[in-house]
Amino acid sequence: MPRPELLSPAQRAALMAPASDLNECIRYYTLSANDLHLIRQHRGVHNQLGFAVQLCYLRFPGRTLGVEEVPPPEIVGFVAAQLGLPVSAWSEYAKRDQTRREHLQELQRHSGLRLLTVADYRSLATWATALAMQTSKGIVLVEGVVEEMRRRRLLLPPITVIERMCAEATTRARRRIYRTLTELLTEQQRGDLDAFLEATPSGKASKLAWLRQPAGAPSPRNLLGLIERLNVIREIKLPIQMGQAIHQNRLLQLAREGAQSDAPHLRQLEPLRRHATLVVILLETAATLTDEILDMHDRMIGSLFARAKRIYETSFQESGKAINEKIRLYVKVGQALISAKAEGKDPFQAIEQIVPWQKFTQSVSEAEKLARPEDFDYFDLIGDGYAQLRRYAPMFLTAFEFSAAPVAKSLNEAINLLRQLNVTNSRRVPDNAPRAFVRQRWSRYIFTDDGIDRRYYELCVMAELKNALRSGDIWVHGSRQFRDFEDYLLSRDRFAAMRSANELRLAIDTESKSYFAERLDRLRDALTRVDALAAKGQLPDAEINSGGLKVAPLTNDVPEAAEELMRQAYARLPHLKITELLIEVDHWTGFTRHFTHLKNGEPAKDKMLLLTAILADAINLGLTKMAEACAGATFARLSWLAAWHIRDETYSRALTDIVNYQYRLPFASHWGAGITSSSDGQRFRAGGRGEAVGQVNLRYGTDPSVLF
């Protein structure tokens, strides 16, 4: 098996390249008085310039100047300018390799830098293993090791040595993660884990596949099914500290690998790796199920309110004609009463002249039925959804451990009360039940003359629980989306330990007074410059006058003749298939080498099939239609290749190669320095089965959709 590729050629070159940007040259290559004194001790302008350039290389990137390596002209020019020497002196220095070696030895003694030894290699490998416990990204590991070598005053060896060290650290970290995840497992738990790979009683799929089934549309039945799956995982009683002892990045990586593995493949793994992978899969599945249950409850409560509001509005619209008739009748009656009072006539006779008395009394009864509540609210109809809520509410409240911030303490107490009522089968809510969380809108439905209405009290608790979960006032242990905010931060003990050891490495001043003083100075300088430019009328594309700030409108910089030029240019381009273009781009950049197998790191064997799967992603055609459109490509082959070779990180690496290649083209400079980009999202309406998992975003309407 080939060793996984940690770095791309561009990343290797960037890590070992000297600074070339002017700002970086100023930062790293500005010579101090001591440097100048040391350099002036050498005879000849070529020796002084060469010695100074080697000094700069040792300072950054921290390596020696290679044999026959020509430093960038920016460095030579920057150093020569400080020494007052001609740049042409470098060509004379580069002729004598012995002089360069002697200067290098002198610089090592002067700077205290030393070569990497076996002991250093082992020590750095141990250090890299600790970093590899947090991430498996090659560039992060290598950059970390390079910075640590600079901190230890070690000369950087060839990049291949550092890559090998990081690859070994990754392997050791992976084995250590496996042991950490499995060392607390009992034999019974190991057997229970293996049982997930066995077929269910129906024989159609494994227990693990049953756990991974989609959540389905929001309904009490599907929600109870999710709780059942969650309880199956909880029955194993995996130690909760297992997941906490491993960095989240590595857990997610193992979970991704496990998600792409079916039961037969997992059974073939060695026991240590198999059990560790199953532990991560179950931990992640439990968190996913928890979030799906809470999200489904959120959507069901939302549907309950939306349905009540829709029925209310529909009923009002259907009653519109009858309401209008009653209003017109009462307008006539009112006018008759006003006239009767003005003329001193009998008001009852005035009414009977408009409508018979019996019909008038009947219309009052009809109007009473048509009348809406004083606050014109649809909460009267919310109670109709109580039966559906009760189908899942008892198990839902029992399935989770809720914790609350002080502002939601009353709501959490109400949740505990409902649990007790469900256990004792009590229907009556005690008069001393928590009520601080009840909003005014709910009060008149909950607190009646006969006591607390159980239906509306429980509906209020479940609705406010949805809101509290969204706001973070209540969190759920074991959830990924609705977790405690403190879980995102360092633990208090670890923070105190890191602070005492001075390991926080904050990039700002920790003293508030000096920090704000420095920020105010920067703001004051910026405002002074703006004032000066505004007074001279030199603000770019803006003007400040007595009327305020005026920003110049954007103008069309493209001349009309460009349209004709564009048509002529496109006419000269050859017509070719998009697959041929992909193959040609891959020939230029070799981007397909990054789409490696998730487990063994091998590149895809069928490059044409790989490009077909990538094209299906690029044009939103999908694997099914792509398989139908391409001869020799089946859905099964495309799906397998997409699952094992196409991932976010492989796309990122491939796009990096393409962008770097494009950036190096001379024509790319017409679009700027390549440091900015424009991005946008696109909404796709969810239909069919996808409608159940789509979300409603009021910005785009009331139809379920997914935003990418």
Mapping DSSP onto H, E and C, the string for 477-517 reads: CCCCCCCCHHHHCCCHHHHHHHHHCCCCCCCCCCCHHHHHH
Asked whether residue 468 falls in the same domain as residue 519, the answer is: no
Residues 248 and 356 in one domain: yes
Which of 81, 111, 141 is where one domain is finished? 111
Output the CA–CA distances (angstroms, integers) from residue 388 to 59, 300, 385, 422, 681, in the order listed: 71, 9, 6, 16, 37
> Do both 104 and 124 map to the same domain?
no
Does 432 reside within a domain?
yes
pLDDT score at 579: 81
Residue environment code for 189-225, b if the CB has 16+ CB neighbours within 10 A, otherwise e: bbebbeebbeeeeeeeebbbeebbeebbebbbebbeb
pLDDT at 133: 93
User: Are 352 and 375 part of one and the same domain?
Assistant: yes
Kindly report the backbone phi and psi dihedral angles of residue 631, in degrees, each rounded to the nearest multiple of 5, phi listed first: -70, 135
Tokens of 516: 């704000």
| Residue where a domain stops, chosen among 84, 111, 138 | 111
In a domain, 313, yes or no: yes
Residues 6+ apart with CB under 8 A from 13: none
Check: CB of residue 337 under 8 Å from CB of residue 350: yes
Of the three residues 111, 141, 169, the one that is the final residue of a domain is: 111
> Residue 484: its pLDDT value, please?
87
- Span 285-344, pLDDT tens digits: 999 999 999 999 999 999 998 888 888 777 777 777 777 777 787 888 888 888 888 888
Name the amino acid, one letter, at 555: T
Element (H, E) at 178: helix 159-182
φ, ψ dihedrals at 112, nearest 5°: 80, 10
Kindly report the CA angle at 705 between 678 and 624, in degrees rounded to 5? 85
Range of the domain at 620: 579-677
d(CA 21, CA 664): 16
Per-residue pLDDT of 627-683, as tens digits, reads 888 888 888 889 888 888 998 889 988 998 898 888 888 888 888 777 777 767 777
For residues 604 and 584, give the distance between their C-alpha atoms in angstroms, rounded to a whole number: 17
- If asked whether residues 586 and 547 sit together in one domain, one would say no
Q: What confidence tens digit (pLDDT) does each residue in 91-118 have?
A: 888 677 888 889 999 999 988 999 999 9
First to last CA, the chain: 37
The pLDDT score that the predictor gives to residue 314 is 79
Tens-digit pLDDT profile for residues 295-308: 999 999 999 988 88
Output the pLDDT for position 699. Answer: 62
How far is 620 from 616, CA to CA, in rounded Å? 6
Nearest to 239 by CA among 186, 175, 179: 186
Domain for residue 407, yes or no? yes
Task: State percent of the chain over pLDDT 70.
Answer: 93
pLDDT beyond 60 at 376: no
Closest Cα partner for 276 from 137, 147, 198, 173?
173
Residue 51 lies inside a defined structural domain of this protein:
yes
Instruction: Specify whether 352 is located in the same domain as 432.
Output: no
**Residue pair 586/592 in contact by the 8 Å Cβ criterion:** yes
Cβ-contact 323, 369 below 8 angstroms: no
Q: Are 430 and 283 in a shared domain?
A: no
Of 38-42, 549-553, 608-612, the range with the lowest mean pLDDT is 549-553
The H or E element spanning position 543 is strand 542-545
Query: How many folded domains does the chain comprise?
Result: 6
Inside any domain, residue 136: yes
Q: For 405-462, write each residue's pLDDT tens digit.
A: 999 999 999 999 999 999 999 989 999 999 999 998 899 889 998 899 999 999 999 9
Report the chain's mean pLDDT, rounded to a whole number. 86
Model pTM score: 0.70
Give 664-697 as a DSSP string. HSGGGGGG-SS--------EEE--GGGGGT-B--
Angle subtended by helix axes 45-59 and 22-29, to nearest 10: 100
Q: Is the pLDDT of residue 702 over 70?
A: no
pLDDT at position 1: 45
Same domain, 606 and 483: no
| C-beta separation of 162 from 127 below 8 A | no
Is the confidence at residue 620, as pLDDT, over 80? yes
Q: Quickly count: other Cβ atoms within 10 Å of residue 623's Cβ.
A: 20
Give yes or no: residues 627 and 546 share one domain.
no
Q: What is the pLDDT of residues 571-593, one digit of tens each?
A: 888 888 888 889 999 999 999 99
pLDDT per residue as tens digits for the range 159-201: 999 999 999 999 999 999 999 999 989 999 999 999 999 887 6
Q: Tell whether 345 and 260 lie within a shared domain.
A: yes
Cis peptide before 61 (omega within 30 of 0): yes
Same domain? 157 vs 45: no
Per-residue pLDDT tens over the stretch 236-276: 998 877 777 788 888 888 888 888 888 888 988 999 999 99
Confidence of residue 373 (pLDDT cuts 50, 70, 90): low
- The CA–CA distances, whole Å, from 138 to 173, 521, 657 equal 13, 40, 16
Q: Supply the pLDDT for residue 353.
A: 80
pLDDT of residue 178: 94
State percent of the chain over pLDDT 90.
Answer: 42
Is the domain of 595 the same as that of 653? yes
Q: What 3 state SS string does 628-667 have?
A: HHCCCCCHHHHHHHHHHHCCHHHHHHHHHHHHHHHHHCHH
The answer as to whether 691 is a domain residue is: no
Higher pLDDT, residue 120 or 695: 120
